[in-house]
Structure 1
Amino acid sequence: MDPLTLIGAGIGAVATVVAAPAVLTAAGFTAGGIAAGSVASSLMSAAAVANGGGIAAGSVVATLQAAGAAGIPLAGQAIVGAVGAAMGAAAGLASNCTS
């Protein structure tokens, strides 16, 4: 693997793990609950309608709210970092392409 791909993977992994909490908060998944009028509240509303009025434990909305309230657990950080690394590596490979 060439250096640009490795650098891209490293930057992608770190950037996604660092940015994930801010992205959750910006979407409305906060420590105080789901913010009114946010993307999170729209997702919660849609999930509640689809689920007969409640939010299922373990659903995407419930998982994102738990992460927004308590932080992203280590396993979640590993997953987010792996996705970021893959995206960074792809960007590094793309930067090496010549036309």
Structure 2
Amino acid sequence: MALFGTIGAVAGGLGALVVAPAALTAAGFTSAGIAAGSFAASLMSTTAVASGGGVAAGSVVAVLQSVGAAGVSAATAVASSAAGAAAGVVLSAVANSTGAP
């Protein structure tokens, strides 16, 4: 079980570190701003309409765009890797306890 837990932790940690920035870009939160016609543009529009015409600083859209534009800080990279690693360990333990391959 320790081997599979370790593999799950490494895969989860690396996955979170690599997949999160790629997922943000794919959703439309890019370094050049929110991409026209993307999910991010739709989310921004919905947020602006709901708040009376603007997107508030600190809102989900603002934070995601900030990360999409500037990348993630070292602290955020460590935190997302740790969360991914923890998820990998949990999923590995569940798979081991249920006999899943």
Q: Common fold, TM-score beyond 0.5?
A: yes
The CA deviation at 1:36 is 1.0
Q: In structure 2, what residue type is equivalent to 1:3?
A: L
In the other structure, the counterpart of 1:19 is 19
Name the Cα RMSD after superposition: 1.5
TM-score by length of 2: 0.88
Q: In structure 2, what residue type is equivalent to 1:35?
A: A
Uncovered stretches (5+) of structure 2, i.e. residues with no partner: none
Over 4 Å off, 4+ runs = none
In the other structure, the counterpart of 1:74 is 74
* Larger mean Cα displacement after TM superposition, 18-27 or 72-81: 72-81
In the other structure, the counterpart of 1:28 is 28
Specify the SS of the correspondent of 1:97: helix
Q: Structure 1 pair 50/79, CA: closer, same or farther in 2 (3 Å)?
A: farther
How high is the sequence identity, in percent, across the aligned residues?
Answer: 55
Aligned counterparts of 1:98 and 1:92: Cα–Cα separation in 2: 10
Q: Structure 1 pair 3/54, CA: closer, same or farther in 2 (3 Å)?
A: same
In the other structure, the counterpart of 1:44 is 44
- The answer on 1:96 being equivalent to 2:90 is no
- The answer on 1:3 being equivalent to 2:39 is no
Q: Structure 1 pair 82/34, CA: closer, same or farther in 2 (3 Å)?
A: same
Aligned counterparts of 2:54 and 2:33: Cα–Cα separation in 1: 15
TM-score by length of 1: 0.89
Aligned residues: 99
Aligned counterparts of 2:23 and 2:80: Cα–Cα separation in 1: 12
Q: Structure 1 pair 55/98, CA: closer, same or farther in 2 (3 Å)?
A: closer
Aligned counterparts of 1:62 and 1:80: Cα–Cα separation in 2: 19
